[in-house]
Amino acid sequence: MAVVTPSQVSRKVHKPQRVGATYYAFLLPVLVLFSLAITLPAIMGIFYSFTNSVGFGDYYFIGVINYIALFSDPTILGAYGFTIGFSLVTVAVVNVAAFLLAIGLTSRIRGKVALRALYVLPMVVSGIVIAYVFNFLFSNSLPELASALGIAPLEKSLLANPDLAWVAIVIVTAWQAIPSTILIYIAGILAIPSDVYEAAALDGASGARQLWSITVPLTAGYILINVIIGFKNFLNSYDIIVGLTNGGPGTSTTSIAMSIFNGFTNGDYSYQMANATIFFFIAIAIALLQLRVTRGKASV
């Protein structure tokens, strides 16, 4: 009888499988479509950012002039400042509210399943629809209610106030973003073994103590993932801002995405291509950070 050594068994078990032709047959169309729809336009956009092209006709290479001009353009710098500030504030609001709601929706309360379904409804509604509904509320319903109650600061629409319009955008964006964030937090909280809470209760730990010493540390990975994903998504905000303020009053709520799109339609094609290129690399950096974080928290 032939004797099979452990090394022979290991080679048989770990023998790499050949990839069939069917795999490549399905993969090739996807790669072609991705290249035509994403990769090629991105390369062309970077190319045109070094020209004076207006989107058609002749053009000339002008080097990095567009990039130099971007860093001295107050409108572009204002758009970056608004977008980054708005994203940071919205990330904080969304994650605090979603975490607290997730704790409530995983506690021993009646009808929590129905409440979970209710809270995720904003996630399935189009952002532009939500924006137009809230535009009416901020422009009509809220001022009328404030006048009836004698609240002077709210008698005029928030959307018409250059100093407060961003608050309305944060409220509406958070209202739509909280549901998806809640789902991630619920998954994280439910993954914590109940034995941990039972042991803490036996030791006399209060609910607040369990929250800060058990729930928060054991869901830290989920918190970090939500923060990074949320920040990346809010940087791309467009539809809600268009529906609420269209970048106004003036340019006080113009986001980076809006400035790029508006430039394309106003003849600043190559200039905004340079802007889009910078924004593209910022998004790539955040995506790489997200990938590293999610890989590091894969065992959460």
Supply the pLDDT for residue 284: 86
Q: In the predicted model, what is the mean pLDDT of the chain? A: 84
Q: Where are the domains of the chain?
A: 74-296
**Residues 179, 116: Cα–Cα separation, whole Å:** 9
Q: What is the pLDDT of residues 47-92, one digit of tens each?
A: 999 998 887 888 889 989 999 999 889 999 999 999 999 999 999 9
Give the model's confidence band at 106: pLDDT under 50 very low, under 70 low, under 90 confident, else very high.
Answer: confident
Supply the pLDDT for residue 300: 47
| pLDDT of 13 over the 70 cut | no
**Residues 251, 255: Cα–Cα separation, whole Å:** 9
Q: Going by C-beta distance under 8 Å and a sequence separation of 6 or more, which residues neighbour residue 82? A: 166, 252, 253, 254, 255
pTM for the model: 0.82
Give the model's confidence band at 7: pLDDT under 50 very low, under 70 low, under 90 confident, else very high.
Answer: low
- Cα atoms in the Cβ-side hemisphere of radius 13 Å centred on 52: 6
Q: Does domain 74-296 have CATH number 3.60.20.30?
A: no
Distance of CA 271 to the CA centre of its chain: 26
Amino acid at 207: G
| pLDDT of 192 over the 70 cut | yes
Section 287-299 average pLDDT: 69
Supply the pLDDT for residue 240: 92
Q: Which has more pLDDT, 171 or 292?
A: 171
Contact 119, 111 (CB under 8 A): no
Whole-number percent of the chain with pLDDT over 90: 29
Give the model's confidence band at 15: pLDDT under 50 very low, under 70 low, under 90 confident, else very high.
Answer: low
